[in-house]
Structure 1
Amino acid sequence: MTGGAAFLDRVPGIRALATRQHGVCTRAQLAGLGVAPHHVAAQLRARRWREVAHDVVVLHRGPSTREARCWAAVLGAGSVPVALACWTALERHRLQGWTRDEVHVVVPRGDKPARWPWLVVHESRRHDAEDVTVQAGLPVHGVERAAIDAAAWQPSWRTASGLVAAVVQQRLTTPDAVLGELERAGRIRHRRTMQLALLDVMGGAQSLEEIDFARLCRRAGLPEPSRQERRRDSRGKVRFLDVEWRLRDGGRLVVEVDGVGHLAHEQWYDDLLRDAELGSDAETVRIRILAGAARHEPDRVLAIVRRHLSALDRRPVRRW
């Protein structure tokens, strides 16, 4: 058998297979359609096809699409159980704003599938069939498993908390479902951080950040702030502030403690407008602090608060 593109039409079923798998096929699949090994070798020698792994060939010489790379990653694993995972799985579930260029797969610990520079292989002791769904023929981890894995494999707690919040905020799953997967995962990195982020999204931790922050200030010997002070914005609407210090000269330090929910675009937008509506004056200093920073970088946060309190306290007392 010879020929270029016409070859795909001479063998029944091969064009449909190539279309379904974005041009990527195994030698075994081709043999099942009647393409003998020497026919494959002839196409490779003629540089019409190219080999990407010992048992995997691409039926063209053009650039590889992302879908083709996903197929190559799965087919290149051979008999090794494999699933598109982590960032790649989340991309396929349509998570926005968290795309990674590499293709990520998970295989059982100890297995060694074919690898390429664009492929990241994660080995895991947890490789259950119930974690895998099939999308357009490809095995893909579910949203919850993919999000927990991606978050746990990050060095940054900020990335971990933001990611598990994002999959809920973009309505790809529910907080309860992610918390259930987190329980199944056992002792993993950033576990507590992810739990707090999910509670925040659920609303169950609405005041948790303020409580943590007030506790941190007490331990550091700072004056006790008041919490959830009522104020009216420029339109007369009642607003609640998180924590506030009133100083001897009438000055005030207001600290807004933002949970992970504030990282969502819509919430961030509303928060900025809220600050503008409340405004500031000569007597008030307002700062915003992420709740996670108070947990993970307490010394840095305390230094910020002390600096502002000290600056306000050094002002001369007004005399009337």
Structure 2
Amino acid sequence: MERKRHDPRQRRRILGELDGIAARQGGVVSRAQAYATGLTRGELRAQVRARRWQRVWSRSVCVHTGEVSVLGRQWAAVFEGGDRGMLDGESSLVASGLKNYETSVLRVSVPRGVKPLRGVGLDIRRTRRWSADDLVATGVPRTRVPVAAVRAAMWARSDKQASLLLMMPVQQGMTTPEHVGRALLAVRRDRRRELMHAVVDDMLGGVRSVGELDFARECRRRGFPEPDRQVVRRGKDGRYYLDVCWDDFGLVVEIDGIHHSWATSVVPDALRQNEVALGRATVLRLPLLGLRVAADEFFDQVERGLRDGGWCAAA
């Protein structure tokens, strides 16, 4: 039975050291880290019993009793995976700064041979794809963004979500289509491999949203000429981008995602459309919902706009 006790000065030193570690890890330390500072198992249990600290799953403690932070939970999830655990997939993307995306379960990858643990809100899995080369050098242990994006797409619940998880990190400037493509080359077998290659190919061609991706595919299917994407124009207030345009036929299509309904976007969008219209181009607006429930009607309008601009379909 453990009998060791520290004098008050030693105890203050140990607790101060633990506070410093916890400050970098969202208020959480692993049991191994706590014991490495000299804290005994009995002292750790006493802190928890006194309700100064709280357990986080089986291998970590939080050095306060308030709500455990997102960062703290991320660190605790990695500690559950052991010395070689790392956040992976969508959990890694969120930890790297992905915005406007939430996940309720933390995915941790460990090498084969490691016994996965279980916990509410945890998904710890052995994978043959584990590699130390994929680890980000700073912060919470996690896979690099391009690798995380590819794996998140592989593990997604649907093809639509897979496409979104490939494209959002590029859209938010966290990585590039080229880096995602290189990470994808390491995938030899997967049921979504063909889909992921198609998405990356489209991103390399300039697509930056799921709406643009769907639009480009539908244009090809209907035999429309290949449009230009994310074209830069200059207005009185600087540069702006057009989603899709055919300069030769004087047609612009703006694909409206949910962000176009935000108050901060309404005025800039209207000014941009007016500027294009004053340049004698026809501007069509295509909400993402339109791609889901009225695609034929919207693409009939696109075809009419192309024909009015002088395009003739091949016989």
TM over 0.5: same fold? yes
Please name the residue that 1:21 is paired with. 25
Distance across 2 between alignment mates of 1:226 and 1:19: 56
List per-residue Cα deviations over 1:61-88 (Å, max 9, x = no partner): 2221111111211122234x21112222
Distance across 2 between alignment mates of 1:10 and 1:124: 37
Cα separation, partners in 2 of 1:67 and 1:242, compared to 1, 3 Å: farther
Cα offset, 1:140, TM superposition: 1.2
Distance across 2 between alignment mates of 1:23 and 1:205: 40
Distance across 1 between alignment mates of 2:217 and 2:88: 34
Please name the residue that 1:42 is paired with. 46
Within-5 A mapping of 1:30-109: 30-79=34-83, 81-109=84-112
Please name the residue that 2:235 is paired with. none
Larger Rg: 1
Please name the residue that 1:124 is paired with. 127
> Is 2:106–2:121's contact at 8 Å kept on the other side of the alignment?
yes
Distance across 2 between alignment mates of 1:112 and 1:68: 23
Secondary structure of 1:184's counterpart equals: coil
Within-5 A mapping of 1:80-229: 81-109=84-112, 111-136=114-139, 138-203=140-205, 213=218, 216-217=221-222
Cα offset, 1:100, TM superposition: 2.3
> Is 1:210–1:257's contact at 8 Å kept on the other side of the alignment?
no
Distance across 2 between alignment mates of 1:64 and 1:39: 21
Distance across 1 between alignment mates of 2:216 and 2:135: 39
Aligned length: 268
Cα separation, partners in 2 of 1:135 and 1:99, compared to 1, 3 Å: farther
**Same amino acid, percent of matched pairs:** 29
Cα offset, 1:10, TM superposition: 6.1
Secondary structure of 1:57's counterpart equals: strand
Alignment-mate amino acid for residue 95 of structure 1 = L
User: Which consecutive unaligned segments of at least 5 residues does structure 1 have?
Assistant: 218-223, 229-238, 244-253, 310-320
Cα offset, 1:174, TM superposition: 1.7
Distance across 2 between alignment mates of 1:209 and 1:70: 34
Secondary structure of 1:135's counterpart equals: coil
TM-score (norm 2): 0.64
> Is 1:109–1:125's contact at 8 Å kept on the other side of the alignment?
yes
> Is 1:153–1:189's contact at 8 Å kept on the other side of the alignment?
no
Secondary structure of 1:104's counterpart equals: strand
Cα offset, 1:161, TM superposition: 2.0
Distance across 1 between alignment mates of 2:217 and 2:28: 53
Distance across 1 between alignment mates of 2:206 and 2:12: 58
User: Which consecutive unaligned segments of at least 5 residues does structure 2 have?
Assistant: 228-244, 304-315
Cα separation, partners in 2 of 1:59 and 1:201, compared to 1, 3 Å: same
Alignment-mate amino acid for residue 154 of structure 1 = A
List per-residue Cα deviations over 1:259-312 (Å, max 9, x = no partner): xxx86968x989986599669xxxx9x78598xx7xxx9xx9679979x99xxx
Secondary structure of 1:68's counterpart equals: helix
Cα separation, partners in 2 of 1:209 and 1:166, compared to 1, 3 Å: closer
Distance across 2 between alignment mates of 1:100 and 1:9: 38
Cα separation, partners in 2 of 1:58 and 1:197, compared to 1, 3 Å: same
Please name the residue that 1:240 is paired with. 246
Distance across 2 between alignment mates of 1:28 and 1:204: 47
The two structures, once aligned, show a CA RMSD in angstroms of 4.5
TM-score (norm 1): 0.63
Secondary structure of 2:201's counterpart equals: helix
> Structure 1: which 4+ aligned runs deviate by more than 4 Å?
6-12, 204-217, 224-228, 254-258, 262-266, 268-279, 286-290, 300-306
Cα offset, 1:157, TM superposition: 2.0
Secondary structure of 1:41's counterpart equals: helix
List per-residue Cα deviations over 1:204-226 (Å, max 9, x = no partner): 78999889647745xxxxxx777
